[in-house]
Chains A and B, each alone.
Chain A
Amino acid sequence: MTLAAAPTGTPAVGPDGPGGTPPGASVPVRLRLRRFRTPSIVLGAAVVALWVLVIAFAGVIAPYDPYAVAGPRLSPPSGEFLLGTDTLGRDVLSRVLHGARLSLPIALATISIAALVGCVIGAVAGFYGGIVDSVLMRLADITMAFPSILLAMAVAAALGPGLTNSFLAIVVVWWPIYARLIRGQILSIKEREYVMSARAIGMSRLTTLRKHVLPHAMTPVLVSATMDLGMIIILVASLSFLGLGALPPSPEWGAMITEGSANFYQWWIAAGPGLAMVTIVLAVNFLGDSLRDVLNVRTRVR
């Protein structure tokens, strides 16, 4: 199963040093975008757009009720049931489409909150330095020392199963990545002359951070978050697969794959949600890569 390849996120941000500073906010992004209209960005955007439509109109598109028994149990894909039915006779396609409403928003929320928490902590650590920096960064180091899937499992197990708890568990595991990333950025940006100039006119530290430091540090975080989104989708599904996330009746993709694994010869049960995940993760990764090229950022090496 592909889940064995769950993310072991050990990012290699330059330890302290001034990370790569994006050279130019000078050329308008609009201009640069035009040069990057590559097949991968178009394909990625198209697939993501398709899934957004699915999330919006799942109720309309889905041929059956995802929770209701629609036909005979374990019937293979056919004209009537495009992706077959599961152990209870529910339509797999309808469940996959409705599952998008769970998996994707949860992943998006997770990454946003993790990035937000990470940015705040990293920015404070980098900008204020000293003991604050040491304490926050050691905390980040400790968190990152655990394999992310294991720590997420531990947290989720402690909180009890459920989608909300798996969301919390992933935030706990994932924030240090962004904290590290943004801290490195800020360390180099805060030495720039316009930051010193802002301090010299008497601007408060917090305002300086907000107006002249953070905006310049955000680009790599944005790119990194986009590239991580795919991984988070998988992580959310992994927790559900392990029984720590969404619980059985819910059409969450990871949980559906668990059901499929119990019926190994009825391959369509797991194939539906699995393929759905492959398309969205690939598309998001394409977009992330393109975004990185467009914004010309050096990010951590995987």
Chain B
Amino acid sequence: MTATPDDDRPLLAIAGLTVAFTTDRGPVEAVRGADLAVRRGETVAIVGESGSGKSTLASAINGLLAANGHVTAGSIDFDGTDLLALPERRMNAVRGRRIGLVPQDPMSNLNPLLPVGKQISEIFRIHGVAGGRAARDRAVELLDAVGIPDPRQRYRQYPHEFSGGMRQRVLIAMGLACRPQLLIADEPTSALDVTVQKIVLDLLDELTTSMGTAVLLVTHDLALAAERADRVVVMHRGAVVESGPTAEVLNDPRNDYTRRLLDAAPGMATESLVGAETLTDAAPVIEVTGLRKEYAVRNGAFGRRSRFAAVDDVSFSVPRGRTVGIVGESGSGKSTTAKMLLMLEPSTSGDIVFDDREVTGLAGRDLFAFRRRVQPVFQNPYAALDPRYTVGDTVREPLEVHRIGTRAEQDARVSELLTQVALDPDLADRYPHELSGGQRQRVAIARALALDPEVVILDEAVSALDVLVQAQILDLLVELQRRLGLSYVFISHDLAVVRILCHHVHVMKAGRIVESGSPDALFRDPQHEYTKELLAAIPVGTPTGQGAGPKLLT
């Protein structure tokens, strides 16, 4: 490593970078004239929505663009070296050794066939830092440093024996293995639960500070960027629209897009969308008591079957015309609860009373009739619509199944439904792949509304959407509720969204409801340890939040 005494010069300087992808429809510019500078030891966050070019920019730095992508203009200067001019062989020496990478998805970025420790010591071997025993010892040290208990034992284990958070720690260990000068972290915690996210980010802060490593943090989460970065770069449609010190950008955004992004991000101080009506003013439409779902788990190939309760003694009610939120992390049983409410999954015991009628165990015609009244909207806008059917067919399908109306009447209803969710009725002829994520989710909502249901179960219905789109869909949901008197069960891991949308919230952990209350009461004065933990883990870097100044690393 060449020591440069001149510390004022940035470690990484990107100027006028343009990246284009060759596609069937001609070249597409994913990054257009981006400028970016990262100084030694500082953390810079690139913030943007999906498709803003933030990940492309990050992969251009260490020369890992997809095969059809290439830099068409601009320069990338890293510690005095022009990275774009480096031949592939010398780039290999930079990658991993001087520029580390923490990729997004901890599930697919470790080789499932190799022990975790081997994958770390391999890095030392490749870069000629250490080999054999020495490499092993250093890998064990690193595992210890990223807080993996019993590292000697864990060294020999395979990725599937690690939890998501643990795997992300391993990836961080790999990214930092050679003490790089720069670490690129591309959405390092997006796949993790919020409490795990906090732990992982704290760890990342701690390690990079102690090593003096600069961090380029790519994220869609403005609050997270605010909390972790010294400076923020906002990208929109491939261009850098704003950059500057975190506090400055967030408190006094100059760019219109940044302002919209800030407004749309629900924080803990955002005004509720539904007002603070009390629960008692409406009769319950759904009442759940003592709901339980057990799965049989087999231990090993010939092991004995044991029972595992995914949902354990859950009771709550949904008042008519109101929204009840269920919050919890992955594995808390919230989605299983949703499936039981939808009668897509039988319950082991407990009662679900819908409109004064017991519905558990419904079958045949009764179940068919029940389906008209309770409808779902699922999480993933890319998987919720069958790609082989047009928007119109998808929305019409419920009407066909229930034989409602003639073909012409159905067509009229489809147009009406599409208008209702603020979509152009002409979109009826389009296929899902021609639509954006937000449009797809609107189609899913239109389909759910086709049968005039009384209750809509929203299972993470806005979680996969970008902030701006998410805000629009939330507004739409609130408007539909007012207009049609719908009752919602809103299932989410995102406390900020739940807070502004729900009238009443239940916090679930390990299959049980641990705390319930109005969002205001629950989030202002949490009683249960777990609720407190969840709340503390949310990044609160929103500019309106007092005392939430950006955390400086240097």
A201 touches B401 (CB 8 A): yes
A201 touches B387 (CB 8 A): no
B402 at the interface (CB under 8 A from A): yes
Q: Which of A31, A194, A200, A215 contacts B385 (CB under 8 A)?
A: A194
Q: Flag B388-418 by CB within 8 Å of A: 1 or 0 each.
A: 1000000001100110000000000000000
B542 at the interface (CB under 8 A from A): no
B50 at the interface (CB under 8 A from A): no
Which of B372, B376, B451: most chain A CB closer than 10 A?
A: B376
Chain B proximity of A191: nearest CB distance (Å): 9
Contacts of B368 in A (CB 8 A): 202
A300 at the interface (CB under 8 A from B): no
Q: Flag B439-454 by CB within 8 Å of A: 1 or 0 each.
A: 0000010010011000
Q: How far is the CA of A215 from the CA of B387 in the complex (A)?
A: 11
18 inter-chain pairs at a CB distance below 8 angstroms, sorted by A residue, are A26-B433, A193-B380, A193-B383, A194-B383, A196-B378, A197-B444, A198-B386, A200-B371, A200-B374, A201-B371, A201-B397, A201-B450, A202-B368, A202-B371, A202-B402, A203-B401, A207-B401, A216-B388
B379 at the interface (CB under 8 A from A): yes
Which of A25, A202, A203, A215: most chain B CB closer than 10 A?
A: A202
Contacts of A25 in B (CB 8 A): 387-388
A196 touches B24 (CB 8 A): no
Q: How far is the CA of A203 from the CA of B372 in the complex (A)?
A: 11
Q: Which residue of B lies closest to A194 (CB)?
A: B386
Q: How far is the CA of A231 from the CA of B368 in the complex (A)?
A: 48
> Restricting to A195-228, which residues have a CB under 8 Å from any CB of B?
196-203, 207, 211-212, 215-216
Q: Flag A23-36 by CB within 8 Å of B: 1 or 0 each.
A: 01110000100000
A192 at the interface (CB under 8 A from B): yes
Q: Which residue of B lies closest to A204 (CB)?
A: B401
> Restricting to B17-38, which residues have a CB under 8 Å from any CB of A?
24
Given contacts A201-B371, A202-B372, A202-B398, 14 further A-B contacts (CB under 8 A): A26-B387, A193-B378, A193-B384, A196-B344, A196-B376, A197-B376, A197-B378, A198-B386, A201-B447, A201-B451, A202-B367, A202-B371, A202-B402, A212-B386
A31 touches B24 (CB 8 A): yes
Contacts of B387 in A (CB 8 A): 25-26
Contacts of B367 in A (CB 8 A): 202
Q: How far is the CA of A41 from the CA of B447 in the complex (A)?
A: 42
B375 at the interface (CB under 8 A from A): yes
B427 at the interface (CB under 8 A from A): no
A25-B387, A201-B398 given; A193·B379 CB < 8 A? yes
Q: How far is the CA of A207 from the CA of B368 in the complex (A)?
A: 14
A26-B433, A31-B24, A215-B388 given; A198·B383 CB < 8 A? no
Contacts of A212 in B (CB 8 A): 386
Contacts of B378 in A (CB 8 A): 193, 196-197
Q: How far is the CA of A231 from the CA of B380 in the complex (A)?
A: 41
Number of A-B residue pairs with CB-CB distance less than 8 Å in the complex they form: 58
Nearest 8 A-B pairs (CB), nearest first?
A: A202-B371, A26-B433, A193-B378, A201-B398, A194-B386, A193-B384, A193-B383, A202-B368
The A contact surface, by secondary structure, is: helix
B353 at the interface (CB under 8 A from A): no
Chain A proximity of B239: nearest CB distance (Å): 27
Contacts of B401 in A (CB 8 A): 201-203, 207
Q: How far is the CA of A198 from the CA of B372 in the complex (A)?
A: 12
Contacts of A203 in B (CB 8 A): 397, 401
Q: How far is the CA of A202 from the CA of B397 in the complex (A)?
A: 10
B24 touches A201 (CB 8 A): no
Chain B proximity of A197: nearest CB distance (Å): 6
Q: Which residue of B lies closest to A215 (CB)?
A: B388
B342 at the interface (CB under 8 A from A): yes
Contacts of B397 in A (CB 8 A): 198, 201, 203
Q: How far is the CA of A194 from the CA of B432 in the complex (A)?
A: 12
Q: How far is the CA of A211 from the CA of B367 in the complex (A)?
A: 21
Q: Which residue of B lies closest to A213 (CB)?
A: B386
Q: How far is the CA of A220 from the CA of B398 in the complex (A)?
A: 30
B344 touches A200 (CB 8 A): yes
Q: How far is the CA of A68 from the CA of B378 in the complex (A)?
A: 70
A197 touches B447 (CB 8 A): yes
B371 touches A194 (CB 8 A): no
Chain A proximity of B392: nearest CB distance (Å): 15
Q: How far is the CA of A5 from the CA of B203 in the complex (A)?
A: 59
Contacts of B385 in A (CB 8 A): 194
Q: Which residue of B lies closest to A35 (CB)?
A: B24
Q: How far is the CA of A216 from the CA of B389 in the complex (A)?
A: 12
Q: How far is the CA of A254 from the CA of B447 in the complex (A)?
A: 57
B383 touches A200 (CB 8 A): no
Contacts of B444 in A (CB 8 A): 197
Contacts of B383 in A (CB 8 A): 192-194
Contacts of A192 in B (CB 8 A): 383
Contacts of B447 in A (CB 8 A): 197, 201
Q: How far is the CA of A201 from the CA of B394 in the complex (A)?
A: 11
Chain B proximity of A77: nearest CB distance (Å): 50
Q: Which residue of A lies closest to B459 (CB)?
A: A193
B375 touches A200 (CB 8 A): yes
Chain A proximity of B32: nearest CB distance (Å): 25
A200 touches B402 (CB 8 A): no
Q: How far is the CA of A161 from the CA of B478 in the complex (A)?
A: 73
A194 touches B402 (CB 8 A): no
Q: Which of A193, A201, A211 contacts B375 (CB under 8 A)?
A: A201
Contacts of B376 in A (CB 8 A): 196-197, 200
Chain B proximity of A192: nearest CB distance (Å): 5
> Restricting to A77-135, which residues have a CB under 8 Å from any CB of B?
none
Contacts of A199 in B (CB 8 A): 344
Which of B386, B433, B450: most chain A CB closer than 10 A?
A: B386
Contacts of B379 in A (CB 8 A): 193
Q: Which residue of A lies closest to B377 (CB)?
A: A197
Chain A proximity of B135: nearest CB distance (Å): 33
> Restricting to B349-375, which residues have a CB under 8 Å from any CB of A?
367-368, 371-372, 374-375
Q: How far is the CA of A24 from the CA of B24 in the complex (A)?
A: 15
Contacts of A215 in B (CB 8 A): 388
Contacts of A197 in B (CB 8 A): 376, 378, 384, 444, 447
Q: How far is the CA of A200 from the CA of B397 in the complex (A)?
A: 12
Contacts of B24 in A (CB 8 A): 31
Chain B proximity of A182: nearest CB distance (Å): 17
Contacts of B372 in A (CB 8 A): 202
Q: How far is the CA of A137 from the CA of B230 in the complex (A)?
A: 59
> Restricting to A1-40, which residues have a CB under 8 Å from any CB of B?
24-26, 31
Q: Which residue of B lies closest to A212 (CB)?
A: B386
A200 touches B388 (CB 8 A): no
Q: How far is the CA of A295 from the CA of B418 in the complex (A)?
A: 33
> Restricting to B118-171, which residues have a CB under 8 Å from any CB of A?
none
Q: Which residue of A lies closest to B342 (CB)?
A: A200
Contacts of B451 in A (CB 8 A): 201
Q: Flag A145-179 by CB within 8 Å of B: 1 or 0 each.
A: 00000000000000000000000000000000000
Q: How far is the CA of A26 from the CA of B384 in the complex (A)?
A: 14
Contacts of B433 in A (CB 8 A): 24, 26
Q: How far is the CA of A200 from the CA of B459 in the complex (A)?
A: 13
Which of B339, B367, B397: most chain A CB closer than 10 A?
A: B397
Q: How far is the CA of A215 from the CA of B393 in the complex (A)?
A: 16
Chain B proximity of A207: nearest CB distance (Å): 8
> Restricting to A250-270, which residues have a CB under 8 Å from any CB of B?
none
> Restricting to B323-348, which residues have a CB under 8 Å from any CB of A?
339, 342, 344
Chain B proximity of A258: nearest CB distance (Å): 47
Q: Which residue of A lies closest to B457 (CB)?
A: A200
